[in-house]
Amino acid sequence: MTTLEKNQTPVVIDARGPRFSAAITVFVLATALVTQSLPLITFQLVVFLIGATKGPQFTPYAFLFKSLIKPRLKSEFVPEDVRPPRFAQAVGLIFATIAVAGLLSGATIVFTVATGFALAAAFLNAAFNYCLGCEVYLLLLRARR
Amino acid sequence: MAQTTLVKSFLPILIVLGSAAAYGLWYQKSRGKIQAKAISGKALTASIIGGDLGSRATLVQFSSAFCTPCRATRTLLENVVADLSDVRHVEIDAETNLELVRKLDIRSTPTTLILNSSGLEVGRAVGAPKRDQVFAALAAIK
């Protein structure tokens, strides 16, 4: 319990931001998957990179949310710890990296599978408010140590 | 030729979105639901969970850092036990208690175990539980 408290960072963002970003991610990844577009998957990789390193509140999608969507929303601010969506961005980054490597090396199947997993996660997040960190993180820890 | 490549590349997206939608519906339905458990196994003690047991029941919540609904679950359960002197809420960091996590087969966070007065698990909820369901589960414990 004490470690939980210690790990508590005060960074709290609007939970509707990552959910909106997930919806755009679905659109971008779906298009990339169908067209096998290197520029599109690379663009999404950069977005994931920003989301995983700087934080999901600094991506271009988050900027769109803040400037265009948020002022029009009538629902209330939903506070969310920044760490869970950041974890999801890191997982997305891994899949996008594999996808880009697959496409560059001509291994299209690798691209398709990796992009497919990233798309599934983004879709689950956008449509069902799926918490990737809740479902995956503990399993990873249990498998590793 | 153009048509075959189109079919080839539309098939993956159909598979991905179809299976993700099916999984998502199951996820939405199952998360937060309290599953009653037949009493078996060993009782949990205050020293194992790192907090006193309630005289009637204890809500043991496993949480982790990358978990959005853990916060809401904590708020809800703290709120529930505030009015009940014989029920306690104990939160455990899953990450630093992996041995216990493995022993109790906790797979995701938040997972809440409902213990009876002797520390035996009588139910568990994976995901943020609903308030009325928590009260119903507690009412079933004598």
Q: Report chain A residues whose CB lies below 8 A from the CB of B110.
A: 134
Q: Report chain A residues whose CB lies below 8 A from the CB of B68.
A: 15, 80-81, 84-85, 131, 133-134
Between CA B17 and CA A26 the distance in angstroms is 10
Residues B12, A4: C-beta atoms closer than 8 Å? no
Does one domain contain both B57 and B26?
A: no
What pLDDT is stored for residue A1 in this prediction? 42
Give the end-to-end CA distance of chain A in Å, rounded to a whole number. Answer: 21
Q: Is residue A103 very low, low, confident or very high in pLDDT (cuts 50, 70, 90)?
A: very high
Residues B108, A124: C-beta atoms closer than 8 Å? no
Q: Report chain A residues whose CB lies below 8 A from the CB of B109.
A: 134, 137-138
Give residue-wise pLDDT tens across range B4-15. 555 567 999 999
> What ipTM is given for this predicted complex?
0.87
Show the CA angle centred on residue B110, arms to residues B122 and B31, nearest 5°: 75
Q: How close does chain B come to A95, measured CA to CA in Å? A: 14
**Cβ B76 vs Cβ B128: under 8 Å:** yes
Q: Report chain B residues whose CB lies below 8 A from the CB of A134.
A: 64, 66-70, 108-110, 127
Express the helix, strand and coil content of chain B in percent, nearest 5 each.
45, 20, 35
Residue B30 is which amino acid? S
**CA dihedral in degrees (B82, B28, A116, A82; nearest 10)?**
-20
Give residue-wise pLDDT tens across range A55-72. 999 999 999 999 999 999
Token reading at A35: 């067209």
Between CA B88 and CA B79 the distance in angstroms is 11
**CA dihedral in degrees (A19, A119, B95, B37; nearest 10)?**
90
Give residue-wise pLDDT tens across range B40-90. 778 999 999 999 999 999 999 999 999 999 999 999 999 999 999 999 999
Please name the residues in contact with B111: beta carbons below 8 A apart, sequence gap of 6 or more: B61, B62, B124, B125, B126
Question: Which residue do the tokens 């509707």 mark?
Answer: A16
CATH number at residue B120: 3.40.30.10
- Total domain count for chain B? 2
Kindly list the domain boundaries of chain A, sorted by start residue.
Answer: 13-66+80-144
Between CA A80 and CA A87 the distance in angstroms is 13
Does one domain contain both B7 and B39?
A: no
**Cβ B22 vs Cβ A128: under 8 Å:** no
Question: Which residue is closest to B50 within chain A, CA to CA?
Answer: A1
Question: Which residue do the tokens 């700087």 mark?
Answer: A54
Does one domain contain both B49 and B9?
A: no
Does one domain contain both B84 and B120?
A: yes
Does one domain contain both B18 and B44?
A: no
Does one domain contain both B70 and B2?
A: no
Q: Is residue A145 very low, low, confident or very high in pLDDT (cuts 50, 70, 90)?
A: low
| Residue-number span of the structural domain to which B21 is assigned | 1-30
- Whether A35 has its CB under 8 Å from any CB of chain B: the answer is yes
Residue B115: pLDDT over 60: yes
Q: How close does chain B come to A64, measured CA to CA in Å? A: 23
Q: How close does chain B come to A60, measured CA to CA in Å? A: 22
Residues A120, B92: C-beta atoms closer than 8 Å? no
Does one domain contain both B41 and B2?
A: no
Question: Which residue is closest to A108 within chain B, CA to CA?
Answer: B9
Q: Report chain A residues whose CB lies below 8 A from the CB of B71.
A: 81
Q: Report chain A residues whose CB lies below 8 A from the CB of B20.
A: 119-120, 123-124
What pLDDT is stored for residue B37 in this prediction? 85
What is the three-class DSSP state of A49? helix
Does one domain contain both B69 and B116?
A: yes
What pLDDT is stored for residue A10 in this prediction? 66
**Cβ B38 vs Cβ B94: under 8 Å:** no
B2 burial via Cβ count (<10 Å: 0-12, 13-18, 19+): exposed
